[in-house]
Amino acid sequence: MQNTQILHIKLNNINLGRLLLGKKGNTLFEYDNKWLKEGFSISPFFLPLKSGTFEAKFEPFYGLFGVFADSMPDGWGNLLLDRFLMSKKIQLSSLNVLDRLAYVGNGGMGALTYEPDNSFIYKGKIQDLNIIANQVSEILLEQADLPTVKSLLEQTGSSGGARPKVLIKYKGSSWMVKFPSSIDPKDVGEKEFFYSKLAKQCGIEMPETFLFEEKYFGTQLFDRKGNERFHVHSASGLLHASHRYPSLDYLQLAQVTMALTKNIKELSKLLTLMVFNVAIGNKDDHAKNFSFLYKNGVWVLSPAYDLLKSDGFGGEHATSVLGVGNPKKQDMIKLAKEIRYPEKEMKKIIEKVFDICNNS
């Protein structure tokens, strides 16, 4: 197998730039000349909109810039891809990061696509979700045959996250449906659906959600509308902060939100999400669980996702509040003062969110 040395990157079928493999195993990026005149910075802190070649450091994304690392699959997607490639006698150690992005191709989240496109396209009709759940179990128990692996790989796309999932069409839109992992309780779907409704009650912007078969949690994808796809950038990729260990503080997220969006309403959305995560004990609030969308020429905080009570790292929140891993209300008020957000408004958010969460 010949390794990929260069990838051409597009955004909604418009040439954006190219990504090359460097001698050290890291990558080099340059914007297309036309994009420089008519486009926008896809990653403002690390890839400003200017000519020249940008060189990525090897850490924390194995030689990729964060914005392209955002396109890569995570636990579940990698599990399926690696099993399929091994069945084809392909040595995983022989693949470079561009090879893996080529497998993402047109199938990643957000609007970025990569050529050559070696992605897996699902050609069949989406099966009964209960059948898919059984196939997921076979994968987790290492009992699945190659056609099952390939079928799930095609239906998963390059979605991130550790939980098993597939992409489906529902009500004319694109949806993601999750299934329990080997360490999840059987009712994890019902729990996530409950918290999605609770978040909406608290005023948090959420995509539409649904409980399929009364047990599988599904959410409408917010990165696409019809044939249009929107550029998505996680806080992890934006700041080159790993999501595999605690690497962020809500103070940083608040500062980044204002720097990127320049909109106090977006900051309020982030602070409400912070309070909600603390109120329900969602300690898995790592750097990849916050994202920004580029829509209509401006950056906005994305709708919330992956809201579920969880243990986190060592029993503490992955994203701390002024360095506190198990923050209290006074810590969040102190953070508001630090960023000069009106204390009165912060107290209103805290009171509303905790009141709803404690009485649900």
Q: pLDDT value at position 123?
A: 66
Q: What is the pLDDT of residues 197-226, one digit of tens each?
A: 999 999 999 999 999 999 999 999 999 988
- Of all residues in the chain, the percent with pLDDT exceeding 70 is 97
- Do residues 178 and 186 touch, judged by C-beta distance below 8 A? no
Question: Which long-range contacts (C-beta less than 8 Å, at least 24 apart) are formed by 8-11?
Answer: 8/114, 8/115, 9/68, 9/112, 9/113, 9/114, 9/115, 10/112, 10/113, 10/114, 10/115, 11/39, 11/42, 11/111, 11/112, 11/113, 11/231
The pLDDT of residue 124: 64
* Token pair in block for residue 15: 């040439």
Q: Average the pLDDT over 171-181 and give the result.
A: 91
Q: Please count the CA atoms within 13 angstroms of the CA of 231 that sit on its side-chain side.
A: 25
Task: Provide the 3-class DSSP secondary structure of residue 41.
Answer: coil
Residue whose C-alpha is closest to residue 68's, from 10, 126, 123:
10
- Per-residue pLDDT at 213: 96
Per-residue pLDDT of 44-100, as tens digits, reads 999 999 999 999 999 999 999 999 999 998 888 888 999 999 988 999 999 999 999
Which of the residue ranges 108-112, 157-161, 277-281, 315-319 would you say has the lowest mean pLDDT? 157-161
Q: Write a three-state SS string for 218-234.
A: EEECCCEECCEECEEEE
Question: 244 near 59, Cβ under 8 Å?
Answer: no
The band of 227, judged by pLDDT with boundaries at 50, 70 and 90, is confident
What CA–CA distance (Å, rounded) separates 314 from 325?
9
Residue 320 φ/ψ, nearest 5 degrees? -80, 170
Q: Region 136-140: what's the mean pLDDT? A: 90
Nearest to 11, CA basis, from 230, 192, 171: 230
Assigned token pair, 267: 């900051």
Give the contacts of 313 (CB within 8 A, at least 6 positions apart).
Answer: 245, 246, 283
Q: Which CATH architecture has domain 129-156+163-224?
A: 2-Layer Sandwich (3.30)
Reported confidence tier of residue 319, pLDDT bands at 50, 70, 90: very high
Which of 149 and 209 is assigned the larger pLDDT?
209
Residue with the bigger pLDDT between 93 and 31: it is 31
Predicted local confidence at residue 159, as pLDDT: 63
Q: Of the given ranges (141-155, 203-217, 326-340, 343-357), which has the lowest mean pLDDT?
A: 141-155
157 has pLDDT over 80: no
Question: In sequence order, which residues have a C-beta less than 8 Å from that of residue 294 and are 6 or more positions away?
Answer: 40, 42, 230, 231, 232, 233
Q: Give the pair of three-digit tokens for residue 344.
A: 């009165």
Query: Per residue in 297-306, pLDDT tens?
Result: 999 999 999 9
Whether 95 and 181 have beta carbons less than 8 Å apart is answered as no
Burial class (CB in 10 A: 0-12, 13-18, 19+), 185: exposed
Confidence at residue 52, expressed as pLDDT on a 0 to 100 scale: 97
Residue ranges of domains in the chain: 6-115, 129-156+163-224, 230-354
Six-digit token string for 263: 């909109």
Burial class, 327, CB count within 10 angstroms (exposed 0-12 / middle 13-18 / buried 19+): buried
Longest CA–CA span in the chain (Å) reads 62
So what's the pLDDT on residue 171? Answer: 85
Q: For residue 160, what pLDDT is reported? A: 64
> Is residue 293 scored above 70 in pLDDT?
yes
Q: What is the pLDDT of residues 249-258, one digit of tens each?
A: 999 999 999 9
User: Residue 246: what pLDDT?
Assistant: 84
pLDDT of residue 254: 98
Contact 317, 290 (CB under 8 A): no
CA-to-CA dists, residue 281 to 49, 128, 202, 312, 349, angstroms? 39, 33, 15, 9, 17
Given pLDDT bands bounded at 50, 70 and 90, which one contains residue 134?
very high
Tokens representing residue 91 in the block: 């040595």
Mean pLDDT of the chain: 93
Is the pLDDT at 126 greater than 90, yes or no?
no
